[in-house]
Structure 1
Amino acid sequence: MREPSTQAPIVLCDQGRTAALLDFQQLVDAIARAAAQMEEGTIASPERKVVPLGDGGVMLSMPATAKDVGIHKLVNVQPANVQRQLPTINGIVTVCDAATGRVICLLDGPEVTGRRTAAVTLLAIRTFLAQPPEQLLLFGTGVQSRYHVQAINAVYPDARVFVRGRDLRAATDFCERHRGLHPHLEPVGAVVPEVEVVITLTTSTAPVYDELAKPGRLVIAVGAFKPEMAEIGQVTLGGSLIYADEPEGARHEAGDLIRAGVDWAQVKSLAHALRQGADQSRPIVFKSVGTAAWDLAAARVALAALSAN
């Protein structure tokens, strides 16, 4: 009986190495490519599977495949870990060669998620704004806000970033802790400053932003990922063109849009905007709900970096 040939060892990437492999500029381009391929049907990214885990936690299973590569992200979310002073999210992304099925590497799941989510925001900014932003406002002081600060610094290092938290103290603490990631951080209170981009990164169940829609101001909603959550209010949504990174997923997960009763026939995809452009003279809201296709895009970037080393 013929012995199988020896395979190359699986490359194990911890959080630090995963971060080093995932350049934000390259992630933006890879996600743009993946968005087009998902619309064409050459990336398969089924609805994620959610099963209970422990007391109040969930396990999320998210596969995606393309002609060149396949990934499976397995993420555990355990809210009770806050009291344990442990990370709320743990997980891993398995990356395999599509032709042979051989597992090539394992990436840190939370790092992939954080970076590719922020990269989707960068792609939205590039797609829906006529010129690079000079001032942005972040709602939220959690982990995803930190990734967004890193991403903004990588692409718009001179941009001024305002941060709004639960209160001014929370925003001030966030800015002080992360000044090394971006030098132009500034906490703000209730007044919304004049900015070109508003990015909401909370898990709020009530809208945190509901200003009159304003041409030239792009609103990006990232944090709300359940029907009972909502970050953007009806005043803003009612006066805006609405796009989503994955409209089908948004129908089930985007509490902002569900609560506002938007006309889903009018919600266009990110791929549509990349292909045909968008009317940048109109106010635009971009809803990001995520898909395993973006993790697959991140895996491509990581593989390219590994092969270059």
Structure 2
Amino acid sequence: MTHVPSPMPDALDARATAAVLPWNALADEIAALLLSLRDSDAIHVPARIVMPLARDGALFCMPATDGQLAMTKLISFTPANAQTARPTIQGDIVVFDVATGERRLILDGPTVTARRTAAVSLLAARRLAPNPHGPLLIVGAGVQGSAHLQAFASGLGTREVWIASRSEKSAQQLVEQARQLGLQAHVATDLAAATRHCPLIVTCTPAQAVVLHDAPRDDAFVCAVGAFTPAMVELAPALCRDMQDRGRIVVDTQDAQHEAGDLLQAGIAVQGLPTLETVLAQDWPRPRTPVLFKSCGWGGWDLAATRLALRMARRQAAASP
């Protein structure tokens, strides 16, 4: 009997979206897109449109294309939802075929956002962390905290994690998730002690106030993802300047020059700082001094995730009975 592939679904929910974005493959796809930027005229990522909403919310529209597919992410960001059961990020990514204009797939926007953000951090840690084996300190126990926990456990082999959060309940929930993954996990009640113990640090909070004042280790890798506007901040200005003096600061893209609140509020000239693309294109050796990686987000990360998701969804449909 001839095998007839099952039709690919038109839309994927959060669970199905996560299934087509495995951590290591997603980090590799992001790296591949970055390495192709200088040789490809087809990749086009316009500046994202941000429309302010009430109560410090915003509506984001982020289009991109690689010449074969075109996508746009449309999501709302509602920080006030952090105090409720509703997610702070909601929306979708819609994928189109460039040649025909047909819609190919709809992905869950918050899931793509969480996974591509953590995968960018994973890629940066792979290349820039002086001591990539941990332990890991995560400051912020929300969606991004969970995503980074999974990404670092899967992609770096992290075995020990410490969780710091304003909410003891949220911290304990993430500790339990880590233990279910087979990790040694603890609530960090003394943040200063945790920074002395952990060479890997990720801050992924709502970025309404400074949450990290120090990263004293000479092999520290600090990945800051929570602040993505000039008014947002997670890192103390003194910490940013100290990392610049003792080691290196790398930003995800040049868009950080007008989005990286942590660095801008520290008075650091963001323009001219090396980007993740530079690190990959120049094949940097692993640093031996502290590194601060500042991530603000970019539509190209969503484009990379979309390309992988489309291939994976087609593969799954072809393998289905």
Normalising to structure 2: TM-score of the pair?
A: 0.85
CA distance in 1, matches of 2:38, 2:46: 13
Query: Do the aligned partners of residues 39 and 218 (structure 1) sit closer, same or farther apart at CA in structure 2, a change above 3 Å counting?
Result: farther
Deviation at 1:285, TM superposition (A): 0.7
1:59 is paired with a residue of what secondary structure?
A: strand
Q: What is residue 295 of structure 1 aligned with on the other side?
A: 302
The one-letter code matched in structure 1 to 2:267 is: G
| Correspondence for 1:229 among 221, 228, 232 | 232
Q: Is the 8 A contact 2:178 2:184 kept in 1?
A: no
The answer to whether the 8 A contact 1:222-1:287 is kept is yes
Separation (CA, whole Å) in 2 of partners of 1:96 and 1:44: 14
Quote the residue 2:209 is aligned against.
206
- Alpha-carbon spacing, 1:183–1:228, altered in 2? closer, same or farther (3 Å): same
Corresponding position of 2:166: 166
CA contact (8 A) 1:138 1:161 kept: yes
Cα separation, partners in 2 of 1:185 and 1:84, compared to 1, 3 Å: closer
**CA distance in 2 between partners of 1:244 and 1:139 (Å):** 19
Aligned residues: 301
In the alignment, what sits opposite 1:95? 95
Identity %: 36
Deviations 1:185-205 (A, max 9, x none): 211122224222111111233
Q: In structure 1, what residue type is equivalent to 2:113?
A: T
Change over 3 Å in CA distance of 1:200–1:55 after alignment to 2: closer
Query: Is the contact between residue 138 and residue 164 of structure 1 (CA under 8 Å) also seen in structure 2?
Result: yes
Q: Which residue of 2 aligns with 1:195?
A: 198
Deviations 1:144-190 (A, max 9, x none): 10111111222234521111112656533431355324532211122
The worse-fitting range, judged by mean Cα deviation, of 90-99 and 294-303 is 90-99
Can you list the C-alpha shifts for 1:80-125, whole angstroms capped at 9, x where unaligned? 4456632222110011223332211000000000000010010011
> How far, CA to CA, are the matches of 2:152 and 2:146 in structure 1?
10
CA 1:182 to 1:52, structure 2 compared with 1: closer, same or farther past 3 Å? Answer: farther
**What amino acid is the match of 2:62?**
M
| 13-22 vs 181-190, which moves further | 181-190
1:213–1:236 Cα contact (<8 Å) kept:
no
Distance 1:254 1:304, change over 3 A: same
Kindly indicate whether the alpha-carbon contact (under 8 Å) linking 1:213 and 1:235 is maintained by their aligned counterparts in 2. Answer: no
Q: Are residue 147 (structure 1) and residue 150 (structure 2) matched?
A: no
**In 2, distance between residues paired with 1:298 and 1:78?**
23
Distance (whole Å) between structure 2 residues aligned to residue 81 and residue 123 of structure 1? 29
Residue 128 of structure 1 corresponds to 128
* Cα shift readout 1:261-300 (whole Å, capped 9, x = no counterpart): 1123441110101121156022211101111100010011
Secondary structure at the counterpart of residue 264 of structure 1: coil
Equivalent residue runs for 1:44-55 within 5 Å: 44-53=44-53
Q: TM-score, normalised by structure 1?
A: 0.88
For 1:307, the equivalent position in structure 2 comes to 314
- After superposition, the Cα gap between the structure-2 partners of 1:180 and 1:113, relative to the gap in structure 1 and judged at 3 Å, is same
Q: Is the 8 A contact 1:22 1:301 kept in 2?
A: yes
- By how many angstroms is 1:48 displaced? 1.1
Q: CA deviation at 1:138?
A: 0.7
Report the equivalent of 1:113: 113
* 3-state SS in 2 of match to 1:179: helix
2:4 alignment partner in structure 1: none
Letter in 2 for 1:64: A
**What is the Cα deviation at residue 229 of structure 1?**
1.6
Q: What letter corresponds to residue 204 of structure 1 in structure 2?
A: A
Distance 1:162 1:194 in 2: 10
CA RMSD of aligned residues (A): 2.4
Match of 1:270 in 2: 276
Distance 1:22 1:49 in 2: 25
What residue number does 1:4 align with?
Answer: none
* Cα deviations by residue, 1:59-81 (Å, 9 ceiling, x for unpaired): 21000111222110000223444
2:185 maps to what in 1?
185
- 1:17-36 pair list within 5 angstroms: 17-36=16-35
Please give the secondary structure, in 2, of the residue aligned with 1:281. coil
Residue 284 of structure 1 is aligned with which of 277, 291, 294? 291
After superposing the two structures, state which structure 1 stretch, 70-79 or 44-53, moved more: 44-53
Q: Which moved more, 1:271-280 or 1:33-42?
A: 33-42
Name whichever of 21-30 and 265-274 sits farther off: 265-274
Runs of 5+ in structure 1 lacking a partner? 1-7
Distance 1:170 1:302, change over 3 A: closer
